[in-house]
Amino acid sequence: MIRLGWRLLFGDPAKALGLIFGIAFATLLITQQGALFVGLMLRTQGLIEDAQEVDLWVMDPAVEYLDASQSMRDIELQRVRGVNGVKWAVPMFKTTTPLKTPEGRINNALLIGFDDASLIGATQRFLVGSVEDLRRPDAVAIDRYGFVKLWPGEPIAVGKVLELNDRRAEIVAITDAAAAFALQVILYARYSQAVSYAPTGRHQMSFILARAGEGGARTVAQRVTAETGLKARSSTDFSEMTINYYLKNTGIPVNFGVVIVIGIIVGVAVVGLTMNMFVNDNMRIFGVLKAIGVTNSQIVGMLLTQCAIAAIIGFGIGIGLTAAFFTFAATPTSDLRGFFLPWWIAAGGLFLIVTVVLVASVASLRRVLWVDPAIVFRG
């Protein structure tokens, strides 16, 4: 029966190809959009992920997510350091500032300043130079994407000069840090250097980065909040808080969800219509099979096998196209840098495609179950 089902499926190449490529297109939509959504959400907390030594973030009580920092008084740093369970705490400065290259290119940059003494919180992923190079005068590090954006076509190298608010900055290192949510040039500098490039007023400290001791990050975070009145979160909780903000307060989930639903609808429509035409064209064959004693369960098994074959081939093509998309489009210097296809998105896509094929085949299966063997003898 399986062999017969295979021959019937590919007996009409046009319908078979239409079915397979319909499933492939649905797979591409579902998995690509799902992976893009996941990558975009991960971008929102890239800066938290890069600060590997830090497990505790302290901020103004009004802050709801990473990109909406509120400046705090310098004295808050000493108050946090005085909380039992805090091993160490350092300041962090974060703002957006305009920059200009000697060639006349103008752009906005995310400027991040770290503790002058320890440089804690800076990314550890450097392509050229190291974090220690930031100790030099007027020194800044730039991410690879930013360098390519400002100097397209030029080899990545240090020594370039920028103008930040009429002040000179020299690029001494190139990083491979995680991309920011609002894709832009990312600059790193010592705290004192960063605040001189982009003065923000009387209060300049954006976050306090800390390390928890005995009790764990969440316990110490609760203690910091209770004793200082500031908002303290573990790195994991702050990441979740940032992602949840974008999920609840932006249209991103709806936009991606609509495309995924369209992919499911396309799959149901293509599979349903194609299977319906396939059953219509082969109704007499099913009648003959019933007339010679083939049971309904055997015929249904044959049809489900056909659907499974089409689903596997179509899914393979669709997931292959998705993987190729991220391989060639998500390069380190592209706007999609950092995006990838998670294995669980691929597994979820397979589950959805199998479900779509089964749901779309139900109507056709019912028609086969009720086919009258006498159809063979009718004109």
User: For the chain, which residues make up each domain, given as ranges?
Assistant: 2-44+251-377, 61-229
Task: Please report the pLDDT score of residue 273 as a whole number.
Answer: 80
Task: Please report the pLDDT score of residue 378 as a whole number.
Answer: 56
Q: Which helix (H) or strand (E) holds 59?
A: strand 56-59
Task: Please report the pLDDT score of residue 9 as a whole number.
Answer: 61
Task: Please report the pLDDT score of residue 263 as a whole number.
Answer: 86
Residue 67 has pLDDT above 70, yes or no: yes
- pLDDT tier at 87, thresholds 50, 70, 90: very high
Most confident of 80-94, 169-183, 269-283, 304-318: 80-94
Residue 79 has pLDDT above 70, yes or no: yes
Cα–Cα distance between 33 and 27 in angstroms, integer?
10
Task: Please report the pLDDT score of residue 171 as a whole number.
Answer: 96
Query: Would you state the structure tokens that stand for residue 105, as one six-digit string?
Result: 């290119």
Task: Please report the pLDDT score of residue 360 as a whole number.
Answer: 77
Query: Would you state the structure tokens that stand for residue 293, as one six-digit string?
Result: 């004693």
Rounded to an integer, the average pLDDT of 235-254 is 93
Residue 375 has pLDDT above 60, yes or no: no
Are 50 and 237 in contact by the 8 Å Cβ rule? The answer is: no
b/e code 311-326 from CB counts within 10 Å (16+ = b): bbbbbebbbeebbebb
Residue 342 has pLDDT above 60, yes or no: yes
Query: Whole-prediction pTM value?
Result: 0.86
Are 146 and 187 in contact by the 8 Å Cβ rule? The answer is: yes
Q: What angle do CA 190, 175, 334 make, to 5 degrees?
A: 135
Query: If DSSP states are collapsed to H, E and C, what string results for 129-176?
Result: CCHHHHHCCCEEEEEHHHHHHHCCCCCCCCCCEEEECCEEEEEEEEEC
Task: Please report the pLDDT score of residue 372 as a whole number.
Answer: 58
Rounded to an integer, the average pLDDT of 367-379 is 59
Least-confidence region, from 15-24, 63-72, 241-250, 272-281: 272-281
Rounded to an integer, the average pLDDT of 243-251 is 92
Rounded to an integer, the average pLDDT of 338-361 is 88
Residue 122 has pLDDT above 90, yes or no: no
Least-confidence region, from 31-35, 38-42, 44-48, 370-374: 370-374
Cα–Cα distance between 368 and 286 in angstroms, integer?
7
Task: Please report the pLDDT score of residue 371 as a whole number.
Answer: 62
Task: Please report the pLDDT score of residue 10 as a whole number.
Answer: 61
Cα–Cα distance between 286 and 135 in angstroms, integer?
80
Mean of all residue pLDDT scores within the chain: 86
Least-confidence region, from 103-117, 195-209, 294-308: 294-308
Tell me how crowded residue 269 is: count the other CB atoms within 10 A of its CB. Answer: 14
Task: Please report the pLDDT score of residue 4 as a whole number.
Answer: 59
Residue % of the chain over a pLDDT of 70:
90
Cα–Cα distance between 170 and 102 in angstroms, integer?
12
Question: Taking the mean position of all CA atoms in its chain, how far away is CA 14?
Answer: 37
Least-confidence region, from 215-224, 299-308, 314-323: 299-308
- pLDDT tier at 72, thresholds 50, 70, 90: very high
